[in-house]
Structure 1
Amino acid sequence: MPDRRRACIYARFSTDLQSDRSIDDQVALCRAYAAREGLTVVTTYSDRARTSASLIGRDGLQDLMADARAGKFDVLVVEAFDRLSRDQEDLAGIHKRLDFLRIPILAVNDGRADAIQIGVHGLLGQIWMDGHKKKVRRGMAGVIRGGRHAGGRAYGYRPLPGQPGELEIVEAEAEVIRRIFAAYAVGTSARAIAAELNGEGVPPPRGPRWNASTLIGNHARGHGLLRNELYKGIQVWNRITMVRDPDTGRRVSRTNPESEWQRSPAPHLRIVEDALYDRVQLSKADRAQSGARGRALTRPLRPFSGLLRCGCCGAGMSISNRRGTAILIRCSRSVESGTCANRRQVRLDRIEAAVFARLREELEHPAYLREYLRVYHGERQRLASAARRDKAQLGRAATKARAAFDRAHKLYIDGVTDGPAAEANIRRLLDEARAAEIALAQAEAEVPVVELHPAALARYIDALADLAPSLAAPTPPAQEAVAILRELISAVVVTPEESHVDVVMHGYMAMLLGRDRLDCRGLMVAEEGFEPPTHGL
């Protein structure tokens, strides 16, 4: 008879289709087992509708492990090991941690856990999960072959009550779909269609508004209203595979090759005629090719691409037009969905010039130069200190390299070796000897101290004067500088006023020095004083 010890019980069921009585039944079974083993149950833990494929999101199990570390119980009782996990890694990890805390795991159906039990049950659990997934997918494939819907909401349809997998057409939404296809087929852009639908207050499939992306979708995944083959009476399944991220526990989708997609006819769900559907696909392909050719001719991304924000709605701003060398930008939301009142176009080059001017004001602070010199000097000192620590090793390496060269050279002089191979070997040994001697000399040299000279600040400011044209150049150094600059700026907010445009820059200039090194504003925000009101921006 074992000693009377404190025990806890853990119970779990997998899906919300199961009854809460499953938890009660598991707990009752474990209590009876604990009584037979002479254990005192002090607490119970449970997770309802939580998969065994991951530990993330299982609050009951997380509380159990925390209380185990706090020493609140001595034994864990479960119905079976798969209640803890069917994943090999997770089950082994739970056992490893509880074993370290000297807390045994007792399973009503499987006995006391040991390395063999955990290994075998972890493997069997993993095999069961993999097989279960395959069976589910096989069942869904059968549903598609039978002409039924395998799941997922599609705009224009609703499920028939009491008939799983059966859909019917929602005529009001079907009319919207036919209208969208007809408009796109005659050349209306997806943005214009979305704006018109938003203006009329037509409810979108999801979210607060229609967008061009709602219609165009994603070609690789086959998503998008204009790509949905269900509208011409063909069901498509197996476009994606869902996998679980082991670090986050979240299910993520992976696109399957189109050769693995499964199609089945569903003529009763047809909303758009084949001729109209095919005409839209051809039009969409032509526009995509034209867009690709246009993108191939455009300049590289601007320094603030993706950072520009509309001050009226917070959406991004994108290039809308070009007038000679002038580039005009406009609120993307006003273009995509027509739901932002800011329809004004502003000069991107003037915004960039204003931002660069403000950056120069910030970077003219002497503390930045002092910090640069401090870091430079510190790095030189660190490298020199490391070299001095390795001085003896460098000396031995230089002596060895020089001796190897001398031996090879003597053999060549004495006629023992000759030919191109011997000459190449001598040259290589000479280069190695010289490199080793240079490294030794550098280790023995004193590190010069770099002082903050007034002329250095003047040169620094002169370099800032060329900041804008330097960063606009499509050269590798400029691209690297732009990448650093984008880390210092979080957003550039553009707000049109009646007579000018306000530009507000948000960023973290103190990141250059570290938050504790400079007594100045870490958040760089320019309000109306950012620059004088500029007409025509």
Structure 2
Amino acid sequence: MTKRAVIYARYSTGKQKQTSIADQVAMCERHCENAGWEVVGVFSDSEKTGKRTKRPGLQEMIEMLRCRKADVVLIEAVDRLHRSVVNALSYFEITTFRGIELYSVSEGQQDFIKLLFNALGAQYYSDSVAVHTRRALESLVRKQGRTHGMAFGYRKKDGETGLNREPDPETAWIVTRIFEETAAGHSAEQIAQRLNQEGIPAPKGGDWYTSTLRGNKQRGDGILRNRIYIGEVTYGATKSSFDPETGKKWVEATPDQATTLQVEDLRIIPQPLWDAAHTQLEATARQVETIGNASAAHRTKYLLSGLLVCGCCGRPFTMQAQGKYYCRNKKLCGNRTPVLREAIEQRVFASLRDLFLTPELEAKFDATIAAERRKMASASGSNELRTLIRRKAEAEKAITQILRAIESGTTFKSLLERAQSLEDEIARLELQINKLEAVRRSAEAMPTRAAPVYAAAIERMETLLADPDFVHQASGHLAQLIRSIRLTPDHTAQDGMSAEVHMDLGSWVLGAGYSAEIAARFSNNPQMTIEVGAAPPT
């Protein structure tokens, strides 16, 4: 009776040839033909590690074996089936229980002892390769700053030595924008929503999610926590392993085994911007700790939540009882004066509507905007840009001359170092040119006067305030416009509390709908304080 055979093939990573599966299957089919077996099924798994049990192709084959639809299982080698002694023996039990033979093309028919030793060798080899690979990658990080991953905002850089990654002008600006908006007080939810609305693709395509931005603090992943953006190349900060029972992959932090190197050429985010963004992340984390859950920390119930601070101790005012805000630190700082929520909201909104844009402030802001437009126009149209373009053209011409020299018979090896140097220079020049051209585009989108900026921001605020269902969005908009509202006990002021609203022009530019890149040019220049202690107009 002709034996029924099933074939199983597997390869591990995307770096291996996809033809590996076809080669294994062809080898097994030839073996079946020579043995006179009938092939009744072919199963395979591409880019699946042999340490995992839940491989689709493997599971399909096991289901077929459980139904006793085969007499022989044929593999190219035992390590194709599994790289774990325990699991390899488990599959052996499944086959022997049903009277199914297990064959390897390179190792012959498997019995318990042969399978035990072959599986032991496969597992030892896998573990040994992992150790040696880790050491090799650590060496490349230490000596050359070469990385094995591709973080969002970077692209591959050719060359067998030196850096193998560089900032990608097409995506690096998105990373910068995320940090700028975070530093400006925007939540991850707000940033992700805007990126999706603008159709900006996420790192793996599709939509942006808050987890993509925030990541995991312990593992240091997520765009806002990845230190590669400040030029820190790290290897060994995490370790992956597979649960022997479920086959699930686990990633754990291993800071004591990490290798870190500072590579300024990989920096995308300036240190002050990184520090400002992480100050905001820490503030959110403190809110989570106080409130008890992340969603509550990011979703406000009251319009001025997070903006009111005590003028005596600097700690926040929080809603505590009967619709009143109190200093959270009132027992220690002594400021026990409360303020009604409705009263402070009315005073702040009235001041923003009616008292903000005085002729003096408008003139001051117009002058600031005009100065910034002149500065950006000068930067984008300066001799520096023309010089960079000329240098890039010269470098490209030199590359062409090297190619011609090679065609005429010059040994390539003698020109390799010069060619690599020119390629590196062209890449640096392209990055600088793209930055200056981005400045030029920003200059074209820059506001021309303060009044339209103010009007757009106020119109947005009025729209949101008109609908009670938009409290969270309205609060987020106010957080764009206002840096803080300082409340200080004052028996001469309305409600026994003086109130100062602190903001800057950058906040209003952002609140008017301009990009974070443009708004950042006006942040803290100039700052302003508005006294809202007077009673609102009636």
Q: Which has the higher contact order (CA 8 A, sep 6+)?
A: 2
TM-score (norm 2): 0.48
Q: Which has the larger radius of gyration?
A: 1
